[in-house]
Structure 1
Amino acid sequence: MISFVWAPGEPLPAGTGGSENYTVGQVRELHRRGVAAQVVTTGLGVHDGRDGFPGVPFHSVARPADVGQIDGTLVFITEFPTVRTRRPAFQMLHVPPPAGDRRREAMRAQTRDRHPVATSRFAARLWADFLDVDVATIDVVHPFAETVFAAEPRSTRRPGVVRVLYAGRLSPEKGIYTLLSMLHHELITDLVDEGVEITFTVTAAGADKPQGRIIHRMLEAHAGITLIDAARTPEAMATLMAEHDVVLMPSNGQYWHETFGIVSIEAQHAGCRVVASDDGGLPETDCGLVTLVPADDASALAVGLRHAITLGPAGDAERAHATTRFTLEHSVDELVDVLGRVRPPTPAQVVDQLETLVAAPSPPPRLIGTGTSA
């Protein structure tokens, strides 16, 4: 049994982020291969988000310590208190290391006895510095686009209309304020004056959080934006992306660095061009349809969007090539390889071994006789 352990006291939300899609997609593919897998939640009983993921096995425990009693392989998806586990456990590193001192120390303590797994080469380097370990000791299991994105037929595009989508969470680090600034840039208004009709659609993903609620109210009042409900399933997101031509993925870049950017590969598999910040792990998501621009720069985002519009809709061959990268099958192959590999000792295990060695009784001194000669 492979158990993917979610944060204690938090339900697994549907349609709000890459970590959730990554986890559920892995579980479904493992089941398709005949490998037992489940999502583990803590302290919520059946009210842990399972209703949003039909067909995905969930298992709820009462306390964090109970997770350590689960047999099989444990993969911690988010921050989770230190618990003693029956077998060596793994820690997925979906986000950058925490900034606050207290959280940093807690995260180091949690991770020191788990084998770290990053979602990009960028994230592996970032966490290697944070944990003070060799980057080679951190495995990488890339995210993926579910197969429905490549299979979704493109909707008919009206001539002279460019449909632009922002499908990230409504949070400052995801660059939503950069997007709002870009809407008023002369490069965009000039295009409109030239007769190009540009529609901007934003999903309400993350509107359940305090910052998201504030941003949601701002977007509702903006005449240039169509605000829609968040897509809660891969099928719904694939349909939404296939109805758009360009997906924007700006990033704050000041205090947040996207470790990968699963929305980018989903959009490309669906046949969209992507304009993304040249920051963090986003450059690694390029399947051939990405335009990279400096982070936290509304002018650069406008230039990138204009470039994507000039390139025109992605052709069938371009989309077919994009769908060969970051597939679900390849991601699960990487995961199974990592989980099944013989592991070097974790930092905590090395410390324990050294402490055991130091505490061991010293051997008695060896007496060297001088001997006599006849």
Structure 2
Amino acid sequence: MISFVWSPGEPLPAGTGGSENFTVGHVRELNRRGIEARVVTIGLGTADGRDEFDDIPFHSVATLGDVERLDDTLVFASEAPRTTTVHPAYQILHVPPPLRDHAHASLVAGTQDRTLIATSRYAAALWADFLDVDLDTIHVVYPFAEPEFAIRPRPGSGAEVTRVLYAGRLTPEKGIYTLLSALHTDLFDSDCVSVTVTSAGSDKPQGALIQGLLRSHPGIALVPARRTPAEMASLLAEHDVVVMPSNAQYWHETFGILSIEAQHAGCRVVASRDGGLPETDCGALVLVEPDDAEALAQGILTARRLGPVPEHERADAGRRFTLVDSVTGLLDVLEAVPAPTPSRVIHALEELMSLPSATEPHPRAGADASGTRTAADHAAAPVRVVGSP
């Protein structure tokens, strides 16, 4: 049994982010292959989000201590609580390291006994530096787009209006304020560009506040967040350009699953040239300088000039970052001989340091204080002639 352990005390929400989609998609695909997999939640009973996932097995435990006793292969899918496990465990690093120093020690402690998995090469390097571990010890398992995105038909589009979609969470780090600034540049003409924003993340206080701002903006159509791959694929197919203006001042997108979903669905993506977003290129990616409203506006106009993604390019995009490839990559990590975790390396070094020191060398007979034989010793030594009888 492969159990993906969700954050203690938090339900697994549907349609709110890459880590949720990654977890649910992996469980679904593993079960399809006949490999038992499930989501484990902590401290919530059945009110843990399972109602939104009819085809995903859930298992709820009361405390973190109950997780310690599970005889499963445990993959911690979000937070890294410090706990022991029956078998070697794994930690997926979905988000960037925290900014505040006080979180450093707890994360080092929570991950030191786990095999680490990042979602991009960029994220692996970021976490290796933060945790002070060898980059080669962090595996990369890329996220994916569900098959639904590549096969969703695209309805006809009016050539006069480019339909732009922002579907990230309503938080500053996802770049929503950069988008609002871009809309106020003189580059935008409401007759040629329309903008739609989803309510993803509005269930949090910060998101609710931003949603209120968006409702009052005359140039934005606010629509409900989509909760399933099929719903999201339909929404993407109704748009031409998806924007991902991720903030690079204090947040670095580790990958950006929405980027590959959008490209599979036939959209062009305008994203910040930061973090793992450049690694999401499926052939329809336009990169712009982060935190720059003018650059974002220019990127949208570039995508408009490029026009619709040709069918053969969309088909090629759909063969990259697939669910099958992602799950196969995860299984390769789970089935490999685990490399020493940071904790085991430290323990081995501590054992080495605790060994008694080697005894001091004793001078040989006939040697001076430095251990070197004297000239008199050499003169008195018998001479052996090579080849003599």
With normalisation by structure 1, the TM-score equals 0.94
**AA matched with 1:13:** P
Aligned to 1:170: 170
Aligned to 1:45: 45
CA shift digits 1:137-193 (9 cap, x unpaired): 10000000000000100011123121110000000000000000111111113xx4x
1:80-119 → structure 2 map (5 Å cutoff) = 80-119=80-119
2:149 pairs with 1:149: yes
State the distance in 1 between where 2:330 and 2:59 align: 21
**AA matched with 1:176:** I
Question: Quick one: which of 345, 350, 353 aligns to 1:350?
Answer: 345
State the distance in 1 between where 2:356 and 2:279 align: 52
Aligned to 2:20: 20
**AA matched with 2:93:** L
1:109-258 → structure 2 map (5 Å cutoff) = 109-189=109-189, 192=190, 196-258=191-253
**AA matched with 1:348:** S
Report if aligned partners of 2:16, 2:200 keep a CA contact under 8 Å in 1.
yes
Question: Quick one: which of 331, 339, 353 aligns to 1:336?
Answer: 331
State the distance in 2 between where 1:102 and 1:209 align: 24
Report if aligned partners of 1:6, 1:77 keep a CA contact under 8 Å in 2.
yes
Shift of 1:350: 2.0
Shift of 1:352: 2.5
With normalisation by structure 2, the TM-score equals 0.90
Shift of 1:20: 0.1
Aligned to 2:318: 323
Question: Quick one: which of 309, 312, 319 aligns to 1:314?
Answer: 309
State the distance in 2 between where 1:67 and 1:223 align: 50
CA shift digits 1:319-343 (9 cap, x unpaired): 0111111000000110000111001
Report if aligned partners of 2:287, 2:299 keep a CA contact under 8 Å in 1.
yes
**AA matched with 1:43:** G
**AA matched with 2:240:** D
- Structure 2 SS opposite 1:292: strand
CA-based RMSD of the aligned residues comes to 1.9
- Structure 2 SS opposite 1:163: strand
Aligned to 2:373: none
- Structure 1 SS opposite 2:46: coil
Alignment coverage as a number of residue pairs: 365
- Structure 1 SS opposite 2:188: helix
Report if aligned partners of 2:145, 2:257 keep a CA contact under 8 Å in 1.
yes
Identity over aligned pairs, percent: 61
CA shift digits 1:293-348 (9 cap, x unpaired): 00000000000000000011111011011111100000011000011100121111
Shift of 1:3: 0.6
CA shift digits 1:185-229 (9 cap, x unpaired): 11113xx4xxx4321110000001111011000001111111111
CA shift digits 1:218-267 (9 cap, x unpaired): 00111111111100001100000001000000011100000000000000
State the distance in 1 between where 2:345 and 2:288 align: 43
Shift of 1:361: 8.0
Report if aligned partners of 1:8, 1:80 keep a CA contact under 8 Å in 2.
no
Report if aligned partners of 2:80, 2:111 keep a CA contact under 8 Å in 1.
no
**AA matched with 1:209:** K
Unmatched 5+ stretches in structure 1: none
Aligned to 2:295: 300
Aligned to 2:371: none
**AA matched with 1:259:** T
**AA matched with 2:147:** T
State the distance in 1 between where 2:92 and 2:136 align: 15
| Structure with max Cα Rg | 2
**AA matched with 1:6:** W
Shift of 1:366: 12
CA shift digits 1:55-78 (9 cap, x unpaired): 100011111121111112111111
